[in-house]
Amino acid sequence: MNRDDKSAATITIDPWGSTVIKDYGKLFEEFGITPFDAVLDRLQKPHKYMRRKIIFGHRGYDDVADAIINKKPFAVMSGFMPSGRIHLGGKMVMDEIIWHQQQGGSAFVAIADMESHAVRGLSWEKCMEIGLEEYILSLIALGFQPENGYIYFQSKSQVIRDLTFEAGIEANYTELSAIYGLQQSTRISHMVSVLAQSADILQPELGQFGGPKPTVIPVGADQDPHIRLARDIAARMRMFLVEHRGNYISVRARGSIYQEQMKQIALELGGDVREYEEHIDIYDNDDLHAIEEVVRRIEIRNGGYGFILPAATYHRFMSGLTGGKMSSSIPESYIGLTDPPKEAAKKVMGAKTGGCSTLEEQKKHGGMPDECTVYELMLFHLVDDDGQLRRTYDECRSGELMCGTCKKRAAELMESFLKEHQEKREQARGQLDEYTIVGINA
């Protein structure tokens, strides 16, 4: 952004950093992610990541919004690879899981030790240690509740292992290649861990967890390939496909072995239903949703899964504090939730800002919060009140606020957040028994 753009932008101030979001625009066209805006308006009390457009897109979230609004069953699930330290990026996913749990969803959290073991080569013991010490303690400290909350280590769950195998029946080499760019040297267990993630995503819809329900997977945009795969697999694990075809609705059996079940559907629906070998066409009922419900019920009665396609929300990432990407190999670039609070405050004081090189210049031209990692920390994590955040934005732009003062404020907020968080982590240690954690107490 040059100075001219900046002064033009003063007229339409967007404190939530829309200029940065534009970079994510191509995800909409290229991958079919839907902008979050329309669904945002339907939610009564959207999360601050939603209000601030940090969550910028979704797939299939309408079903989840319906469930929240109408107080119907739904689930939220996401996972963490236990390979390093939990930082503010992991906190974002946790915040999103916890928010959905508070909206009434049942919440599932995977510690992806199969992925970490296969892809990063960490031993199972190390995965257990990091999973518990870094991730589970912070999850609980941030407010994850034991009621309606289910945590598991992938490798310790027979349900996940079984579902991983089933998912593998519906995924072939060509498809995985298209999504992930497989090579001759790609290791099989790496791909198995990808299927385990599909299993994670579909598990909340299994009979033992109450059956099919809208399920949202909050993730960073980088996880979209996994979401696409899980949705494809979910569709292929169905017995039937229900779709609009011009002036009729068709129920198509995925394979000729389901003829008997298709007759049941036709019988139950009644009316003008024309039966063919592998599909039935319905001419006098265009309530797709109602037909889907009938089909799903019959599918489940016959031992099928009846999956509803899993939904996802996508958030954008914070930049690294040193400017470029946040990277675990550059400790100054990120803030770990277990960083000593004073050290984290120092990282904030040393972070790259959008300020000018001299005070006079900054007083004259103002700073550039949209390009400031300290502002990002406030936007994403440190300031909950929208009005307060906006004031900071405006004062920065107008040249009233200088970076020194601003950084000091942010550093103090960071220090007290971490101090409190770490106290809560220690309390969480004593509360583990209240939680279901497959691999530890279940």
Applying CB under 6 A, which part among 48-56, 107-115, 246-254, 286-294 lies near ligand TRP?
107-115
User: Rounded to 5 degrees, what are φ and ψ at 151?
Assistant: -115, 140
The least CB distance from residue 114 to ligand TRP, in Å, is 8
Contact between 94 and ligand TRP by CB under 6 A: the answer reads no
403 interacts with, out of ligand TRP, ligand SF4, none, CB within 5 to 8 A per kind: ligand SF4
Contact between 201 and ligand TRP by CB under 6 A: the answer reads yes
251 interacts with, out of ligand TRP, ligand SF4, none, CB within 5 to 8 A per kind: none
Contact between 60 and ligand TRP by CB under 6 A: the answer reads no
Residue selected from 64, 81, 136, 428 as contacting ligand TRP according to rule CB under 6 A: 81
299 interacts with, out of ligand SF4, ligand TRP, none, CB within 5 to 8 A per kind: none
Contact between 75 and ligand TRP by CB under 6 A: the answer reads no
The least CB distance from residue 335 to ligand SF4, in Å, is 16
Residue selected from 33, 110, 160, 389 as contacting ligand TRP according to rule CB under 6 A: 110
- Residue 198: name the closest of 173, 174, 166 by CA: 166
Q: Which residue is nearest to ligand TRP (CB)?
A: 79
Cα–Cα distance for residue pair 270/79, rounded to 1 Å: 43
369 interacts with, out of ligand TRP, ligand SF4, none, CB within 5 to 8 A per kind: ligand SF4
Burial class of residue 47 in the structure, from the number of CB atoms within 10 Å of its CB (0-12 exposed, 13-18 middle, 19+ buried) = buried
Buried b (16+ CB within 10 A) or exposed e, 130-168: bbbbbbbbbbbbbebeeeebbbbbbbbbeebeebbeebb
State which amino acid sits at residue 64: V
200 interacts with, out of ligand TRP, ligand SF4, none, CB within 5 to 8 A per kind: ligand TRP
Which two tokens mark 284? 């006098």
What residues line the site for ligand SF4 (CB under 6 A)?
353-355, 367-369, 372, 374-375, 396, 401, 403, 406-407
Contact between 112 and ligand TRP by CB under 6 A: the answer reads yes
Contact between 113 and ligand TRP by CB under 6 A: the answer reads no
Contact between 96 and ligand TRP by CB under 6 A: the answer reads no
Cα–Cα distance for residue pair 439/158, rounded to 1 Å: 11
User: Rounded to 5 degrees, what are φ and ψ at 159?
Assistant: -60, -45
The least CB distance from residue 219 to ligand TRP, in Å, is 5
The least CB distance from residue 399 to ligand TRP, in Å, is 40
Applying CB under 6 A, which part among 74-82, 181-189, 241-249, 395-403 lies near ligand TRP?
74-82
375 interacts with, out of ligand TRP, ligand SF4, none, CB within 5 to 8 A per kind: ligand SF4
Which two tokens mark 7? 């002064």
Contact between 253 and ligand TRP by CB under 6 A: the answer reads no
- The alpha-carbon radius of gyration of the chain (Å, integer) is 24
CA distance to 16, 68, 198, per residue, from 33 (Å): 20, 21, 18
201 interacts with, out of ligand TRP, ligand SF4, none, CB within 5 to 8 A per kind: ligand TRP
The least CB distance from residue 404 to ligand SF4, in Å, is 8
Residue selected from 217, 356, 383, 389 as contacting ligand TRP according to rule CB under 6 A: 217
Of 98 and 282, the one with the shorter C-beta distance to ligand TRP is 98
Task: Give the footprint of ligand TRP on this chain (CB under 6 A).
Answer: 78-81, 110, 112, 115, 197, 200-201, 217, 219, 223
